[in-house]
């Protein structure tokens, strides 16, 4: 048995469990492990092991575990940005650095922006900087809807 520590934001995998109705049969339950959580390697099905290896999901033995300050996916409060200052007070460069470093989800960013058209424009520009002018499609759609025709 070997425990592996997750180094990506989240890893979705299947866990084999006894079937609730068919005695002697097994079923798969979907599980999500967040960054820093430990997963039993031997409990992963072969498909999930292959994905984990392909996408470098777990820290390797002896690999330094990077502490990513400000991001605790288990207790994320959408009313508070994961940076030290509110995103409305950040410059575009600071926002871009935060987006690149903390990797907030599209939903988190849209929650922070709310209905603030100016902040939506600012976040969109920061997203462009953070992603090398390849912003996430869902974020562009959400922010464009907030900005409207302005």
Angle between helices 137-147 and 106-113 (to 10 degrees): 20
Average pLDDT, the chain: 82
Q: Which two tokens stand for residue 61?
A: 């033995």
What's the sign of the alpha-carbon dihedral 106, 101, 52, 41? negative
Phi, psi of 15, rounded to the nearest 5 degrees: -115, 135
Find all residues with CB under 8 Å of 14, minimum gap 6, and list them. Answer: 28, 29, 30, 31, 45, 47, 48
Span 123-133, average pLDDT: 92
Work out the pLDDT band at 52, boundaries 50, 70, 90.
Answer: very high
Beta bridge partners of 17: 27
Specify whether the backbone of 36 is left (phi greater than 0), alpha (psi in -120 to 50) or beta. Answer: left
Model-wide pTM > 0.75:
no
């Amino acid at each position: 048995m070997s425990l592996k520590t997750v180094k990506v934001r989240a890893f979705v995998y299947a866990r084999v469990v006894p079937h609730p109705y068919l005695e002697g049969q097994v079923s798969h339950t979907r599980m999500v492990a967040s960054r820093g959580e430990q997963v039993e390697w031997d409990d992963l099905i072969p498909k999930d092991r292959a994905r984990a290896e392909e996408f470098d999901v777990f820290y390797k033995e002896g690999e330094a575990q990077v502490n990513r300050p400000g991001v605790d996916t288990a207790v994320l409060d959408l009313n508070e940005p994961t940076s030290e200052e509110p995103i409305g007070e950040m410059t575009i460069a600071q926002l871009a650095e935060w987006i690149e470093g903390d990797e907030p989800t599209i939903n988190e960013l849209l929650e922070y922006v709310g209905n603030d058209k100016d902040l939506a424009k600012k976040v969109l520009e920061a997203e462009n900087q953070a992603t090398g002018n390849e912003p996430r499609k869902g974020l562009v759609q959400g922010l464009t809807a907030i900005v409207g025709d302005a």
